[in-house]
Amino acid sequence: MKERPFYAEGLAFSCERCSACCRHEPGYVFLSKNDVDSLLIALAMRYTEFVETYCRWIPVDGGRARLALKEKSNFDCVFWQGGCSVYGARPLQCRTFPFWPAVIQSQETWNQAARTCPGIGKGERRGLDFIASCADQMNKARIIAKS
């Protein structure tokens, strides 16, 4: 019998648009083709210009690299300007936070994320299907990579 996840009864979350997940800490926002396509439309840019202006290649195992958004020198997301300047076209990774596989792995990892995200534990209770869908989308996202 498969053990029920700790979030089987749902988890409360309401984004407070505090930008804590977008600023002041280093990290990576990896991009899929769908993410880039949405951003290209929102910014009215061509792929090469977008990648050169807003992206960086992050080395991963096996000599490959994954496409991610740049950060400013203070670790703010390149699109943070008093708030997300591309909110309607923000990447999947941003849209599904905090329901990432690593965050919903256990009650402990959820509580750890709550220390830096004031929206965790507040607002609308998201159901099991919603949470599982977010995690599944993250697991299935095909991040742009190159050798």
Tell me how crowded residue 86 is: count the other CB atoms within 10 A of its CB: 19
- Sign of torsion, CA 103 109 111 112? negative
Boundaries of every domain in the chain: 11-146
Q: For residue 101, is the peptide bond before it cis, meaning its omega torsion is within 30 degrees of 0?
A: no
**pLDDT per residue as tens digits for the range 76-111:** 999 999 999 999 999 999 999 999 999 999 999 999
Chain mean pLDDT for the chain: 95
